[in-house]
Amino acid sequence: MLRLIGARLMTTIPSVIGVIIVTFLLTRVLPGDTAAYFAGPAASPEAIAQIRSKLGLDLPLPVQFVSYVKALVQGDLGQSLTTGQPVTADLAQRLPASAELTLAGLLLAMAVALPLGVLAAVKQGSWIDHLCRVVATAGVSLPVFFTGLLLVYVFYFLLGWSPAPLGRLDVFASEPARVTGLYLVDSLLARDGETFRAALAQLILPAVTLAIFSLAPITRMTRASMLAVLGADFVRTARASGLSGGKVIGTYAFRNAMLPVVTTLGMVFSFLLGANVLVEKVFAWPGVGSYAVEALIASDYAPIQGFVLTMAILYVVLNLMIDLLYGVIDPRVRLEG
Amino acid sequence: MITRRTALAAGLAAPFIARGKAQAQAPSRKETLLLVQEYGPNSLDMQGIGASQPVNGVALNCYDRLLRFKPVPIPGGGGHQVAMGELEGELAESFQLASDGMSATFKLRDAKFHSGRPVTARDVKWSLDRAVSIGGFATTQMKAGSLEKPEQFVAVDDKTFRIDFLRKDKLTLPNLAVTIPFVFDAELAIKNSGGDEWAKEYLKNNVAGSGAYRVESWKPGVETIYVRNDDWACGKLPQLRRVIARDIASPSTRRALMERGDADVSYGLPPKDFKDLLDGGKINVVGVPIPNGVWGVYLNTQVGPFKDVRLRQAVAFVMPYEKILQASLFGRGVDMSGGPATPKVAWPQPFTYRTDVAKAKALVDAAGGGFSTTLYFDAGNATVAEPMAVLMKEALAQIGITVEINKVPGANFRTEIAKKTNPMVINRFAGWLDYPDYYLFWTMHGNNSIFNIAAYQNPELDKLVDQARFTSDKAIYEQSVIDFVKLVDREVPMVPIAQPTHDVALQKTIGGYQFQPCREPDFRYLTKA
């Protein structure tokens, strides 16, 4: 098994190297002048030149690339100009925030989408199938910032049920001792119920927003995959053998329908992690998405490179995990190195 | 143990519990101010290279300067703004100009740094030396007041400090009150500098000052927490013990927080939100026309169609000034059209043009008829600039000028305007020091700074601007200002559209609003009832 994982990881090395080169070049071809931007108002050409040389942007590209790779090998992703901090520190701070939000959103979505998809497939053409269709269409057609703002408007502004959308914690709550960076987990580890509740209260609305958006692909995929499996010979055989409906659907059909669903979940997760910029903006959530976008607007190279690289690595790891999970779900799937 | 059921129950109950807690902490909330802003500081050192706009707030509240601008009431009420020409001592207990007008001597107060060390003239010297030597914006800003070399700064003894002037420049003293020449605890900074001459890395992440507030915690991109320095010696002890500044990117969220009463102060909402809040009446909105600030459209005088002055005048005649003010600034500004033939000694001020399509059409016809061109603006300003650009496009179409709008993202915008080849650019420039000559020095003078977007070159104008900058004769000064305003009114390298208002939304319980030229919140004067 370990050998398999190792072999599998080896194959990802070329793609990671590719990602490093491509992001480096892409950020350099971006139009815009970092130095001029950070020189601030009333900057003289000399001031801009000084900043350019301080950032090393006046050096030829190959030299810049070599020093970037050298630093990267030592785990140094460079300095962000937008936050003024090392990119590694920023990402370490923000990735857990995004991960916590995305996981919560995804779990919520799964809790609704999987049963809904299964039921829609089993009772094809019934009202529940139509509901499934409506939910999926609505979820995917409502832009996230709209759902987010709508939820804020109703549950915070009108009803006052939800706490102020001020980020991960209320201004008067203090951060739990850092273990994983996920506030829910950390506050439980610290046995701090108050912080747990405060963090959870802040998390609900943004997580629901994300869940509404990710419902659609999961529901549709579950339904389609279940339909295919339910029409298969082994299900008919199981039914013919007199197994109960629950057993046929739960044990045999669902498990076999899981493969494409798990793939979709992986895709949705990695997509949401980096792409929920708008949710992060609406709820002042200090995640990686808005970090990367702000850096992009300012042509701030180091955070963009760091972000893309982290995402690439995460994607690789996630795919590996999904492949391993295939083997668990369906022993017929063999993982080849 | 957490079962699924208890977790769910906790989740459903959470909002109510959170609320109960907020009430229990009411006393601490009362002495704490919650400020919501679009983005926070990227450094704690305003002198450092690449410091962002909110860093001015850190400099203002956590550090002291030798001098500060004197607060004067805002004419419309709601708080105070500053009088540029009137200065009072901050770290300086008193100050005096030499009889030849070529130096100024400052007596320092018995103030202490946050570290407990007394503030000495050596600290002042180190800090000002740093400002003129560190490069980037700080050095440029110091130069604007003829503060250029370390030799100008002399620590006479522990409590006496002298600045020798290179030339008589009326901006020298006001420039000591802006957010650049603030005073560091030099010993602390040098001790932690790690060998760097100006302790750049240490001061970027740490405050080493004597100001009214200390930074208790700083999480870039999330929040900055300030606590009061109870030993502050340079003014009346502020009422607020603690200030939490949270970065909330979405203006809709900031507005919701204000309307629900959860946030105390919000900066930087779109003009429409300020107008709505003002009309709603539940929240105070204080607006100050930004001194030395104006939205204008710059017409390239060196390349492209607008080399012809008649076409520039045509643009000035066709602009729908009033419509722009209402539709893009929602009335939060001052119209810049229809001024008197003889200008006042002020900037910005209305030019003589008013919307007159027939006149504009005649000028275009005389210059050879219609053409197509491109109008640029910074995407970061899109809330205001986009509707402005659309209205301009519509108006210019009436006189045969077809305009293509080009919205440029922030980092590219500087590159674009540095090229000085764009025919039309909408931009807002605001100078810290409120003098007409200072504004024109940046935007229309032959030294061709990046903000001279029109690439305007006119020795006659340069002469008038330089004369106004360095004369100490009031009559000559006023005459030169009137002459150069007349000149740019005739030549219109830039068509002024509107002077924007700097708006702040405050809960009714918040008093003591103080506008500063750096346009960052000054916590030292704020009060909470």
> Taking the mean position of all CA atoms in its chain, how far away is CA A60?
35
pTM as predicted: 0.83
Q: Give the tens place of pLDDT for each residue, B219-245.
A: 888 899 999 999 999 999 999 999 999
pLDDT attached to residue A294: 82
pLDDT for position B138: 87
| A43 within domain boundaries | no
Q: Two tokens at B353?
A: 């043009």
pLDDT digits (tens, 9 = 90+) for B104-128: 999 999 999 999 999 999 999 999 9
Q: What is the pLDDT of residue A160?
A: 83
* Per-residue model confidence (pLDDT) at position A34: 75
Residue B142 has pLDDT above 70, yes or no: yes
Indicate whether A191 pLDDT > 70.
yes
Tell me which chain A residue has its CA closest to the CA of residue B139: A47
Q: Would you say B508 and B206 are in contact if contact means Cβ atoms under 8 Å apart?
A: no
CB contact under 8 A, B22 and A172: yes
Report the number of distinct structural domains present in chain A. Answer: 1
Flag if B412 and A299 touch (Cβ within 8 Å).
yes
Residue A9 lies in a domain: no
What's the rounded Cα separation, in Å, for the pair A27 and A21? 10
In this complex, do B137 and A84 lie within 8 Å of one another by their Cβ atoms?
no
Decide if pLDDT at B490 tops 90: yes
The answer to whether residue A228 is domain-embedded is: yes
Residue of chain A with shortest Cα separation from B441: A42
Residues paired with residue B112 on neighbouring β-strands, in sequence order: B118
In this complex, the residue of B43, B139, B414 whose CB is nearest that of residue A36 is: B414
Residue from A98, A153, A171 whose CB has the most chain B CBs within 10 Å, to mutate? A171
pLDDT score for A44: 67
pLDDT at B488 over 90: yes
pLDDT at A58: 81
Question: What pLDDT sits at residue B263?
Answer: 92
- Weakest mean pLDDT among B3-12, B89-98, B343-352, B457-466: B3-12
CB within 8 Å: B220 and A90 = yes
Instruction: For residues A306-314, give the mean pLDDT.
Output: 87
* Contact by Cβ (8 Å): A219, A116: yes
pLDDT tens for B26-41 read 446 778 999 999 888 9
Calculate how close chain A gets to B79, using CA atoms only, in Å: 27
The residue among A46, A95, A200 with the most chain B CBs within 10 A of its CB, best to mutate, is A200
Q: Does the pLDDT value for residue A196 go beyond 90? A: no
Listed as own residue / partner, the contacts of B275-278 with beta carbons closer than 8 Å and 24 or more positions apart are B275/B330, B275/B331, B275/B332, B277/B505
pLDDT at B232: 94
Q: Is residue A224 part of a domain?
A: yes
What average pLDDT does the structure give for chain A? 83
In a domain, A221, yes or no: yes
Residue of A nearest to B256 (CA): A157
A164 inside domain? yes
ipTM of the shown complex? 0.78
Question: What residues in B contact A80, CB-CB < 8 Å?
Answer: 42
Confidence of residue A334 (pLDDT cuts 50, 70, 90): low
Q: How confident is the model at residue A232 (pLDDT cuts 50, 70, 90)?
A: confident
Question: Is residue A209 a part of any domain in this protein?
Answer: yes
pLDDT band at B16 (very low <50, low <70, confident <90, very high): very low
DSSP code for A253:
I
Q: Which residues in chain B are closer than 8 Å to A297, comparing Cβ atoms?
A: 379-380, 409-411
Comparing CB atoms, the residue among B42, B249, B412 nearest residue A281 is B249
In the prediction, which pLDDT does B19 show? 41
CB pairs under 8 A between A and B: 191
Distance CA B307, CA B456 (A): 10
Domain residue limits at A269: 87-336
Distance (Å, rounded) from C-alpha A207 to C-alpha A110?
Answer: 12
Instruction: Say whether pLDDT at B155 is over 90.
Output: yes
Chain B neighbors of A42, CB-CB under 8 A: 137, 140-141, 144, 431, 442, 449, 451
Angstrom distance (rounded) from CA A223 to CA A217: 10
Whichever domain contains A280, its CATH number is 1.10.3720.10
CA distance B217 to chain A (A): 12
Instruction: For A112-157, write each residue's pLDDT tens digit.
Output: 888 888 888 888 888 888 888 888 888 878 888 888 888 888 888 8
Burial-class residue B63 by CB neighbours within 10 Å (0-12, 13-18, 19+): buried
Q: Please determine, for residue B70, whether its predicted confidence score (pLDDT) is greater than 90.
A: yes
pLDDT at residue number B2? 41
Ramachandran angles phi, psi of A124, nearest 5°: -60, 130
How many alpha carbons fall within 13 Å on the CB side of residue B3?
Answer: 2
Report chain B residues whose CB lies below 8 A from the CB of A46.
135
Q: Which of A299, A302, A274 is nearest to A289 (CA)?
A: A274
The backbone torsions φ and ψ at residue A135, rounded to the nearest 5 degrees and listed phi first, read -60, -45
Strands B494-506 and B293-299: antiparallel
Q: How far is B197 from chain A (nearest CA, A)?
A: 15
Contact A201 B52 (CB under 8 A): no
Residue A52 in domain: no
